[in-house]
Structure 1
Amino acid sequence: MRGSHWFIICIVSFLVLMFAIECRLPKKFVWTPTFSHYDKQPFGCAVFDSLLSASLPMRYSVSGKTFYQLEQEDTVSRRAILVVNNHLALTDVDVNALLKGAERGNKIMLVSNSFTGNLRDTLGFESSYSYFNPIVLRKYAASLLSKDSLHWVGDSTVYPRRIFRFYPQLCSSYFWQDSLSVKVLAEKSISSDEFRYDFGVKFDSLQVDTLCNVPVAMSCSWGKGEIILVSTPLLFTNYGVLDGKNAAYIFRLLSQMGEFPIIRTEGYLEEAAQVQMSPFRYFISQRPLRWALYLTMIAILLFMTFTARRRQRVIPVIHEPENKSMEFTELIGTLYFQKKDHADLVHKKYIYFAEELRREIQVDVEDVADDERSFDRIAQKTGMSAEEVGKFIRAVRPVIYGGQTITAEQMKQFIDKMNEIIDHI
């Protein structure tokens, strides 16, 4: 067997071995929240959406439209809209469309760590902000520290009161409101010092080292509909629905939507989450398309393997480059002959003539103030008289600088004289 065959076998065996090792390696989790419909990592929403689609057939869907687009799409039927994001940035147009939809009977659930000021001012609430750090979460979970408690305080006739326990990093944000029309669904206990730090000096009346209950989920009526605010977006992810008994907390919140069809919109996700929606990722997610992609890659690999042997290439015929200088010269000469611009041709020749003198004998004939020395220098180098040289230079200058018109015969005399001087240097 030839050496090239052994090389190909080794490469193929190495690739097969690496593929087998890669398949057996444990999958690495990415803890960055994306809330994307296509992300199967802990803080994506692929499992969350699939579970709700199975639990609510024909009543749950995912869309990429904004509130304005959804409102323009359907202004008659009533439905529930769910938005899940870490930072919910709504424009005035979005807020107006949201309120308009709620006013005519829609139920809208906004799940986020932070909300824009125009929405807070309209609904009359404040929210604390918390930055999520995956490293801190992993360290906290590894330390086996106690979890925070979320108390369900909604309508006890529907669901009994219950305590749900989550890691503090997943439920650190909360609300404050002073409106009696707001209905609290879930709350948690925090220290008065933390409350004072988050909301400023206007709450200094609270006693030191006391506990106070703050909402983490609440709803307010708006027109014929309802707006539900939730401050724990990381619970509405794959991790949240797979977190054992705590998944009941999410379904209690979603039950506030009633019997309306639920639309979860991704129109406000960051660009990083939209990358998950690439066509290539869709190919991988579908079994027939995935196998088609694998077979294509195997076919390309086989093609490269069997066509890798060296082949004799066709030796190209190299022709000797043609000399186009004479043809170019004739073309330029024809153009000047047709234009009858003899002075311009003398001007171009004079530029070359002056440059040749500067380079060969260091004489600048364009410097009028130094004419006598220049004429003497040219006369010494060419054997001509200084008077003859000076007479020629002074005769050609009006043509060069004054724009004097000359005949073809005069042009030939000027050019011949310049050639004569250059030839005698």
Structure 2
Amino acid sequence: MKLNRYFFILLAFVLAYGLFEFYRPKPIDWSASYRNTDKIPFGTRALYELLPSVMGQASVKNVRLPVYNFLTESKPVTPSNYVFVARSLRFDDNDVRQLLRYVARGNGVFLSAYYFPDTLGRVLGFRALVKPPRLKDTLLTNQFTNPALQKRGGYNFFHDDGRNYLVTKDARNTVVLARNSRNEPTYLRIRYGKGFFYIHNLPLALTNFFVLDRKTSDYAFKALSYLPARPTYWDEYQKQGRFDDDEQSVFRYVLSQPALTWAYYLLVVGLILYALLAGKRTQRVIPVVEPPRNTSLEFVQTVGRVYYQQGDHNHLGQKMIQFFLAHLRERYGLVTTTLDAEFAEALSRRTGVEVSDAQDLVQALQAARRTVTLSEEDVLILNGKIENFRQAVAG
């Protein structure tokens, strides 16, 4: 019962801590996740939910597959758009080849990130560069090159440090759609085959904080207005991997929630300490096992007292001889069928007593066996010789 009590106390403490962490007011999370499920300032849930109206569609399909798998296995409709918003885009060579084929057939790919794959940049003729930290500028503004989309004073995204910009080498197929106040490109449209790549270098501008801020709320929609209104796919694989929310395991969900994660770790540590400390303190005491007692001597003494009290000295003497010979057989391996001179010598050799003492004892045993009725005195004499023999052997 004591073990169960400790366990339930630990379990109650962990549950209480987990509930407290889960329901207490959360501090604002300023990390940039760019996830379409996040309501934090730098998630993209607002843009994802408003995007269908911009694209003139009932909904935008959420994609949780690598580019190669999606474009080869799902076979998206043509023409269509494929939108990526992330801090960094990671494509392997197979992904890049499939993206190029997809755009060449007349589709559009919108890529908003600070860092792009070099393989894609070499094919399309652009590079994404970053200035040294000493040149950061949070007051830097951005402006569209199309006068119809421009805003007086430009757009300032003060949570961005202003160090990222684009460089283009293919003036024939590339159009600069937006620049910063240093006249550096931040948004490009690059023709490839029958379609276009839209390279946007300011993903923070598309997050909840700036989409919902009155001063910058129209920037994201102006940037996406260059995409034709048609079926659109939104990539979440770059940020959340393959599994949708309904495919998440319980353990994966626990680790995705900070409060539940800490409660889980606390439970594991508590169980380990419980096993090491409580289990060691409450283990059962090892019982003391006494060695088996030799009751043969007690039995002999009891039988002797019975015969002595009844005055049956003859039976007492005979039993004494039987027990003594049985002792010689078990202890020294002697054959006690015939008690003669040869037996006396064997007894002397096995026990180490003098031959004369052994012969004297054997003669006493023979005499006692031949006597029809042993008296009390005969029994005492026989017992004395046996005890002397035992003491000689023990000495």
TM-score between the two structures when normalised by the length of structure 1? 0.49
CA distance in structure 2 between the aligned counterparts of 1:71 and 1:244, rounded to whole angstroms: 37
Contact 2:77 2:231 survives alignment (8 Å):
no
CA distance in structure 2 between the aligned counterparts of 1:43 and 1:276, rounded to whole angstroms: 24
CA distance in structure 2 between the aligned counterparts of 1:277 and 1:80, rounded to whole angstroms: 26
Contact 1:36 1:276 survives alignment (8 Å):
no
When residues 271 and 28 of structure 1 are mapped into structure 2, their CA distance, relative to the original with a 3 A threshold, is: farther
When residues 262 and 23 of structure 1 are mapped into structure 2, their CA distance, relative to the original with a 3 A threshold, is: same
Partner of 2:41: 42
Instruction: Tell whether 2:213 aligns with 1:243.
Output: yes
Contact 1:128 1:175 survives alignment (8 Å):
yes
CA distance in structure 2 between the aligned counterparts of 1:251 and 1:102, rounded to whole angstroms: 22
Partner of 2:185: 215
Pairing of 1:22-421 with structure 2 (within 5 A): 23=23, 25=25, 27-53=26-52, 57-72=57-72, 73-74=74-75, 77-129=78-130, 147-154=139-146, 156=148, 159-160=149-150, 162=152, 163-167=154-158, 169=160, 171-178=162-169, 179-190=171-182, 213-269=183-239, 278-280=248-250
When residues 42 and 281 of structure 1 are mapped into structure 2, their CA distance, relative to the original with a 3 A threshold, is: farther
> Structure 1, residues 179-231: CA drift from partner, whole Å, max 9, x if none?
232111110133xxxxxxxxxxxxxxxxxxxxxx1110110111111100000
Contact 2:35 2:240 survives alignment (8 Å):
no
CA distance in structure 1 between the aligned counterparts of 2:80 and 2:104, rounded to whole angstroms: 12
Give the secondary-structure state (helix, strand or coil) at the position aligned to 1:36.
Answer: coil
Aligned length: 253
Runs of at least 5 residues in structure 2 that lack an aligned partner in the other structure: 1-7, 255-395
How far apart are 1:237 and its partner, in Å? 1.9
Partner of 2:268: none
Contact 2:54 2:229 survives alignment (8 Å):
no
Contact 1:99 1:222 survives alignment (8 Å):
yes
Residue type of the partner of 2:111? L
Contact 2:64 2:240 survives alignment (8 Å):
no
CA distance in structure 2 between the aligned counterparts of 1:61 and 1:93, rounded to whole angstroms: 22
Cα RMSD of the aligned pairs, angstroms, is: 4.7
How far apart are 1:245 and its partner, in Å? 2.6
Runs of at least 5 residues in structure 1 that lack an aligned partner in the other structure: 1-7, 141-145, 191-212, 285-425
CA distance in structure 2 between the aligned counterparts of 1:74 and 1:114, rounded to whole angstroms: 27
CA distance in structure 1 between the aligned counterparts of 2:54 and 2:237, rounded to whole angstroms: 23
Partner of 1:420: none
When residues 274 and 128 of structure 1 are mapped into structure 2, their CA distance, relative to the original with a 3 A threshold, is: farther
How far apart are 1:128 and its partner, in Å? 0.8
* Identical aligned residues as a percent: 23
> Structure 1, residues 340-393: CA drift from partner, whole Å, max 9, x if none?
xxxxxxxxxxxxxxxxxxxxxxxxxxxxxxxxxxxxxxxxxxxxxxxxxxxxxx
CA distance in structure 2 between the aligned counterparts of 1:238 and 1:41, rounded to whole angstroms: 7
> Structure 1, residues 81-117: CA drift from partner, whole Å, max 9, x if none?
0111212121111111111011111110111111121
How far apart are 1:44 and its partner, in Å? 2.1
> Structure 1, residues 258-304: CA drift from partner, whole Å, max 9, x if none?
112221112223769999984459989xxxxxxxxxxxxxxxxxxxx
CA distance in structure 2 between the aligned counterparts of 1:247 and 1:129, rounded to whole angstroms: 26
CA distance in structure 1 between the aligned counterparts of 2:70 and 2:17, rounded to whole angstroms: 51
Which region of structure 1 is more displaced relative to structure 2, 45-54 or 229-238?
A: 45-54
When residues 155 and 260 of structure 1 are mapped into structure 2, their CA distance, relative to the original with a 3 A threshold, is: farther
When residues 17 and 54 of structure 1 are mapped into structure 2, their CA distance, relative to the original with a 3 A threshold, is: farther
When residues 43 and 272 of structure 1 are mapped into structure 2, their CA distance, relative to the original with a 3 A threshold, is: farther
How far apart are 1:176 and its partner, in Å? 1.1
Give the secondary-structure state (helix, strand or coil) at the position aligned to 1:244.
Answer: coil
CA distance in structure 2 between the aligned counterparts of 1:107 and 1:218, rounded to whole angstroms: 13
When residues 94 and 283 of structure 1 are mapped into structure 2, their CA distance, relative to the original with a 3 A threshold, is: closer
